[in-house]
A = this chain, B = another copy of it.
Amino acid sequence: MNAEAHRPDTLMIRKLQSIFPLSADERQALRELPVRVVHLEPDRPIVQIGDRPHQCCLVLDGFSCVFKLSYEGRRQIMALHVPGDIPDLQSLHLAVMDSSLASLSRCTVGLIQHDDLRRACERHPRLTAAFWRETLVDASIFREWLLNIGQRNAYTRMAHLLCELLVRLEAVGLVEGNAFELPITQEELGDAIGISAVHVSRTLQALRADGLVESRKTRFAVLDRERLKQAGEFDPLYLHLQERTA
């Protein structure tokens, strides 16, 4: 990624603009937000369930996830975050974290104080709408994941997840051709779609055998977008991109 894209404000603005039009004024207010940049190794906690954070986390580079553990220690990943996402924006209005947030890959994040965000929202009321909207899109993604995990088989789930990542990464300019980096393990992929690591391996092999994707190391290439969408029952409606508020 180039230096410009690494600038916290640029990424956040790009992401917000993908779901909500911003004025020059509003963009300026976002650029002026004080951001503390932090680099993280893989699998590092960022915020834990039960915490009462006073700041939000903006993903700048790499991947993070929100997850919870069952009593038997099984992990469900509720969300994967791509650069530009604000995974714990909810903490602005929910005092206590109901899930944990951690880095998956090596990761750069920007920390923004709640107070600063609240001040920006007061001065620019449409920013409130923009941030609210972002949390609503997150909720929409949770709903789609519920459908994915609750009603679809492993093959379809995996195809769906890859379609979603392709679209979301494209929105922030992280897809080259049809390929993207996804530096997470098969176990983590499995925790995201509710299947075991062993079955992830088999499922990816099936997708490769069917000529839908290619994957070497952490690089995934989508060979046939249309067929992958079909296989994953993927309709990007739920991402609410570029929606006219008509």
Residue numbers of A with Cβ under 8 A of B are 49-50, 52, 66, 68, 70-71, 74-76, 78, 90, 93-96, 98-99, 128-129, 132-133, 135-140, 142-147, 149-152, 156, 193-194, 233, 237-238, 240, 243-246
Question: Is the beta-carbon distance between A140 and B90 smaller than 8 angstroms?
Answer: yes
Question: Is the beta-carbon distance between B233 and A93 smaller than 8 angstroms?
Answer: no
Q: Shortest CB–CB separation between residue A155 and chain B, in angstroms?
A: 13
A238 to B98, CA, bound (A): 5
Partner of A93, one of B52, B133, B149, B246: B133
Q: Shortest CB–CB separation between residue A203 and chain B, in angstroms?
A: 15
Partner of A146, one of B76, B140, B152: B76
Question: Is the beta-carbon distance between B90 and A194 smaller than 8 angstroms?
Answer: no
* Contact partners of A245 in chain B: CB under 8 A: 95
Residue of B nearest to A145 (CB): B146
Question: Is the beta-carbon distance between B152 and A70 smaller than 8 angstroms?
Answer: yes
Question: Is the beta-carbon distance between A149 and B152 smaller than 8 angstroms?
Answer: no
Question: Is the beta-carbon distance between B76 and A150 smaller than 8 angstroms?
Answer: yes
Question: Is the beta-carbon distance between B136 and A50 smaller than 8 angstroms?
Answer: no
Question: Is the beta-carbon distance between A75 and B151 smaller than 8 angstroms?
Answer: yes
Question: Is the beta-carbon distance between A146 and B146 smaller than 8 angstroms?
Answer: yes
Partner of A149, one of B52, B74, B146, B243: B146
Question: Is the beta-carbon distance between B233 and A150 smaller than 8 angstroms?
Answer: no
A78 to B142, CA, bound (A): 9
A4 to B93, CA, bound (A): 30
* Contact partners of A243 in chain B: CB under 8 A: 94-96
Which of A66, A150, A194 has the largest number of chain B CB atoms within 10 A?
A150
Q: Shortest CB–CB separation between residue A83 and chain B, in angstroms?
A: 21
Question: Is the beta-carbon distance between A151 and B90 smaller than 8 angstroms?
Answer: no
Q: Shortest CB–CB separation between residue A149 and chain B, in angstroms?
A: 5
* Contact partners of A76 in chain B: CB under 8 A: 146-147, 150-151
* Contact partners of A133 in chain B: CB under 8 A: 93-94
Question: Is the beta-carbon distance between B150 and A194 smaller than 8 angstroms?
Answer: yes
Partner of A143, one of B99, B135, B246: B99
Partner of A78, one of B137, B138, B146: B146
Question: Is the beta-carbon distance between B96 and A147 smaller than 8 angstroms?
Answer: no
Question: Is the beta-carbon distance between A98 and B147 smaller than 8 angstroms?
Answer: no
Which of A129, A135, A142, A156 has the largest number of chain B CB atoms within 10 A?
A142
